[in-house]
Amino acid sequence: MPKYAWAAHTVRIDWARAHHEALVGFIRAWLRGTNYLYDPANKEEIVALIASTLKIEERYARSSYDAYFGGPVVTVPKDGGIDLVALQITLDAMAAQGDLPTPTPPPSKYIDLQYWLEARDTLK
């Protein structure tokens, strides 16, 4: 599936409001980490880290890296952002399984982009 929301970080609205700076800081770190993962200059270091951390052969670590960050399926948007099209596809799949009512609500029902936008705009 080339478009699907493979991963998510979620918080309750009341928690986000009470921990604004921590949330923006986390998102900022997520954005930096995503940029680092997609930078081809870092590939060998990341492959070695995967292999050593998971105690697997380098070829499997490389295959994992390529699957997540080098192939046609984008599991994490390259800008670290939120893929609203992929999220809508995920919501539609959840509705097809009976987990959400149809028609599915738009992604905007579940996402408040203000924290992500602030983190993106304050990256140094």
Per domain, the residue ranges of the chain are 13-121
Residues in the chain where the model's pLDDT stays below 70:
1-2, 4-5, 74
Q: What pLDDT does 49 receive?
A: 97
pLDDT in tens, 12-42: 999 999 999 999 999 999 999 999 999 999 9
Token pair for 93: 């799949």
Task: Give the CA diameter of the chain.
Answer: 46
Model confidence, pTM: 0.80
